[in-house]
Chain A
Amino acid sequence: MVHRLPRVLLTLVAVAFLVLFVVAPAVNVFAQALSKGARAYVSTFYAPRVQGQEKLPLKERRALSKEQAQAEKTRAAIRMTLGVAAVVVPLNVVFGVAAAWAIAKFRFRGRSLLVSLIDLPFSVSPVVAGLVFVLLMGRQGFFGRWATQFQWPDLASIYWKGFAESAWPVGAANWHSGVIFTPLAAVLASVFVTFPFVARSLIPLMESQGTDAEEAAITLGAGGLRTFWKVSLPNVKWGLLYGVVLCAARTMGEFGAVSVVSGHLDSNDTMPLRVEKLWNEYNTQAAFAVASLLALLAVVTLVLKTLAEWKTRAADE
């Protein structure tokens, strides 16, 4: 019994630490989101017009239309988040695969420097990341003159009205100056913050698999691209999937960098920025409802990670 004491004690400490710092806060998100019931939760995202709304007493009518306006803003933020991720993730996947191929399959000078450079966004404050894009693209920035004189489509202009008016993003006829405080700026900042994730999840995997299979394929007469599609990619598909999901989750959850380049405009709100605004408006339940979607995304990411590890381990054995 004396022998087992440290073991029991340490296990208890570890479990208590994780429950206190991770599990309890995570449960709290969902508990608070549902604290006013399922109806309030749903109406955070979807509050349709009630039939005969105009005939209701003024007070009720005001409350209803306020709820509807808030839900519309939240939905616009969700569309914005998905839109940004739809641009950022493919860009970073292409980069991640190219970087992993060069780094994992070849030895060259400055290789470890390159790896450090890819890790850089992990240690740079997201606020600094946003700041550099303001410095580059802002009115007084290095490319500021070019950015403000060039005529941009609405998505990249400061006259962007957000997704509130329509789900279709581009007002084709409207071209204005801009870049900073626009969705394009949010895309650029997000690309910076999340580009390491795909590369990071592929490099160790591709490195451990070596180059034998590819060399065999090439020797047997397969072309480079064919080798990549038929040999390399299937071997790392779970790692790639995890990298993509992590990159997407991080893009959708990015706060600091996007906050700086959004200019605090409602039309540029992504879901995390919407969470902050709702919280500052003392609309706690709604803030948690939006946050619960993001937390769910985090849970999905973790499940996929566990699955990916399990699959690669199974493939190794």
Chain B
Amino acid sequence: MTSSRRILPGFGPSLGFTLFYLTLLVLVPLGALFVKTSQLTWERFRETVTDPVVVSSYRLSFQASIAAAAINGVFGLVVAWVLVRYPFPGRRLLDAVVDFPFALPTAVAGLTFGSLYMRVPWIDAVRIGTWITRGINAVLSRTGVGTVSAEALSGLDEFRVIVMLVFVGLPFVVRTVQPVLQDFDPEVEQAAHSLGAGRWTVFRRLVFPHIFPAWVSGVALAFARAVGEYGSVIFVAGNIPGKSQIAPLQIITKLDDYRYAEATAIGVVLLSVSLAILLVINGLEWWARRHERA
């Protein structure tokens, strides 16, 4: 123990209160979840969590979350890079804007995204769906696959859920990568440049390995948030059972039918996924710290 323990008072009471609060609010409730599930027989549990309707909801939740986390992985990195490296007018404002999805209540986010797929009264032409479709079509027309229409695309529940989840997970990648990128010594890059390395080589061989652990944990955080997201997604998805329901909505549906045990089983599956992701993130941080020391 360091000397500060002996000098500074209040360790006992503050830690005691923290543990008491956490036990009461986190450990007991989450423990209750597992105890309640253990009251189910194994067959019943398996039946519940592998019910086709439930499985299709996992599929939508996980696929959309992976896609959204991947999109955020790419664009979040670009945003972080631009915010750290390229000073331009309005950068401070944009930097503050990044946190907006974190501060905006999910129901409001769902509401505004849900309405952006319909006609917007103030400017008819502004429809996010149309813009994104134009971008996709620009790519598709080069590959010769053909084009998609805005109506068909925004009619896809997956597409709408993915767009919603990109918004929800946006701050995570930017905010985990940004500080690490800031710490990266530009002199190392300059040295590499003077030795004849190209820009892309420097990024790939020097910068990216340095920010990789932070980037992965940012993507994982965005994914974890997306899997559990409820408030915003129900505003944009069709919520048709077996087709466009997300996993958290399954819990609500079961609860509304007073099928508590089944709701709990699905809850345990979701919780286990979040805990696993949390473990991965912590492992990554530990690994990164060890590498730093080595």
Contacts and interface: CB of A to CB of B under 8 A. Distances in A.
B271 A128 contact: yes
Contacts, number: 292
A135 B103 contact: no
Contacts of A29: 108, 111-112
A11 B22 CA distance: 43
Interface in A72-127: 94-95, 98-99, 101-103, 105-108, 112, 114, 116-127
B254 to A, nearest CB: 9
B10 A228 contact: yes
Instruction: Classify the secondary structure of B's interface with A.
Output: helix
A179 to B, nearest CB: 13
A102 B251 contact: no
Contact of B115 (A32, A136, A305): A32
Contact of A127 (B112, B166, B248): B248
Contact of B225 (A123, A134, A140, A305): A123
A101 B4 CA distance: 12
Nearest to A255: B231
A162 interface: no
Interface residues of B, number: 93
A256 B29 CA distance: 17
Interface stretch (A50-58, A61-69, A170-178, A295-303): A295-303
Given A107-B1, A253-B104, A306-B92, 4 more contacts: A13-B75, A26-B112, A98-B14, A105-B4
The 6 closest A-B pairs by CB, nearest first: A253-B105, A125-B228, A255-B231, A224-B9, A272-B107, A132-B29
Interface of A: 6-7, 10-11, 13-15, 17-18, 20-26, 28-29, 31-32, 35, 94-95, 98-99, 101-103, 105-108, 112, 114, 116-129, 131-136, 138, 140-142, 188, 191-192, 195, 211, 214-215, 218-219, 224, 227-228, 246, 249, 252-256, 259-260, 264, 271-273, 275-276, 279, 284, 287-288, 291, 294-295, 297-299, 301-303, 305-306
